[in-house]
Chain A
Amino acid sequence: MITYLLLMFEFAKTGLFAVGGGLATLPFLREMAMNYPWFTMSDLLDMIAISESTPGPIGVNMATFAGFNAAGALGGIIATLSLVFPSIIVVVIIASFMDRFHKSLIIQRGFYLLRAATAGLIAGAIFEVVLLSLFDVSAYTATKELVTLVRWPALLMFIVLGYLIRRFPKVHPIAFIVGSAALGILLKL
Chain B
Amino acid sequence: MPITLDLAWTFFKMGLFTFGGGYAMLPLLQREVVDNKGWATEEQLLDYYAIGQSTPGIIAVNTASFVGYFQAGIIGAIAATLGLVLPSIIIILLVASILRQYMDLAVLQHAFAGVRVAVSALVTASVYRLGKAGIVDSFSLVWTIITFVCIAFLNISPLWIVLASFVLGNIIQSVRTKAS
Contact = CB atoms under 8 A, between A and B. Distances in A.
Given A20-B53, A113-B168, A120-B144, A52 B92 contact: no
Interface in A139-189: 154, 157-158, 161-162, 165-166, 172-174, 176-177, 179-185, 187-189
A113 B51 contact: no
B4 interface: no
Contacts, number: 380
A15 to B, nearest CB: 5
B51 to A, nearest CB: 6
Contact of A95 (B69, B113, B144, B163): B69
Q: Is the interface of A mostly helix, strand, loop or mixed?
A: helix
B120 interface: yes
B5 interface: no
A109 B174 contact: yes
Q: Is the interface of B mostly helix, strand, loop or mixed?
A: helix
Contact of B117 (A106, A173, A189): A189
Contact of B19 (A42, A52, A162, A183): A52
A50 B95 contact: yes
B127 A123 contact: yes
A92 interface: yes
How many interface residues does chain A have, given as a range? Answer: 35 or more
Interface string A27-59: 110110010000000100110111111111111
A72 B166 CA distance: 36
B113 A189 contact: yes
Interface in B44-70: 47, 50-51, 53-62, 65-66, 69-70
A172 B20 contact: yes
B22 A158 contact: no
Given A54-B92, A80-B85, A113-B143, A181 B117 contact: no
* Max chain A C-beta neighbours (<10 A), residue from B19, B77, B113, B135: B113
Given A17-B158, A119-B144, A111 B169 contact: yes
24 contacts: A15-B57, A19-B55, A49-B115, A55-B19, A56-B19, A64-B85, A64-B96, A65-B96, A77-B93, A83-B61, A86-B57, A90-B57, A91-B62, A102-B47, A110-B165, A113-B172, A117-B165, A121-B148, A125-B151, A127-B148, A157-B114, A174-B19, A176-B118, A185-B111
Given A114-B162, A157-B121, A176-B121, 16 more contacts: A17-B56, A54-B91, A54-B95, A55-B87, A55-B91, A61-B92, A84-B58, A95-B66, A102-B50, A102-B54, A117-B143, A118-B130, A123-B127, A165-B122, A184-B117, A185-B111
